[in-house]
């Protein structure tokens, strides 16, 4: 479950400055944010322009809504989040382009085209 929190935190962290407007999320719409830890465990998150998200971590399906609060993105799960995780989860967000890869702490993050 650490991967989920890392995925949320890493989905947008980078050396780039955070943006306050929703344009920071535009490149994620219709694409896949993949976060992997050192063991290879990964989480895939799909953000939509209507402020919904879905995803998968192993066999666990994820769903809910996202909202920007200043320079953070907050994910609110439509059902109980994985054990030990707050609902909502809020983390810093920064713009990335499809094809970008970056690291956030122990996680590797990729923004890939389409739903993978």
List the CATH number of the domain containing 48: 2.40.128
Domain membership of residue 82 as a residue range = 2-112
Average pLDDT over residues 8-23: 50
Work out the pLDDT band at 4, boundaries 50, 70, 90: low
Q: Half-sphere exposure of residue 69, counting CA atoms within 13 Å on the CB side?
A: 11
**17: confidence class by pLDDT, cuts 50, 70, 90:** very low
Query: Tokens at residue 74, please?
Result: 């907050």
Residue 61 C-beta-side C-alpha neighbours within 13 Å: 5
What percent of the chain is predicted at pLDDT more than 70?
78
Q: In total, how many domains does the chain have?
A: 1
CA atoms within 13 A on the CB side of 45: 30
Could you tell me the pLDDT band of residue 14, with boundaries at 50, 70 and 90? very low
């Amino acid at each position: 479950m650490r991967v989920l929190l890392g995925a949320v935190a890493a989905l947008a962290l980078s050396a780039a400055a955070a943006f306050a407007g929703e344009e920071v999320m535009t490149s994620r719409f219709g694409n896949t944010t993949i976060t992997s830890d050192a063991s290879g465990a990964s989480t895939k998150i799909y953000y939509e322009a209507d402020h919904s998200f879905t995803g998968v971590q192993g066999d666990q399906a994820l769903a809910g809504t996202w909202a920007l609060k200043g320079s953070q993105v907050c994910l609110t799960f439509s059902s109980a989040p994985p054990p030990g995780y707050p609902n909502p989860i809020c983390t810093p967000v920064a713009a990335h382009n499809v094809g970008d890869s970056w690291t956030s702490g122990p996680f590797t993050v990729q923004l890939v085209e389409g739903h993978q």
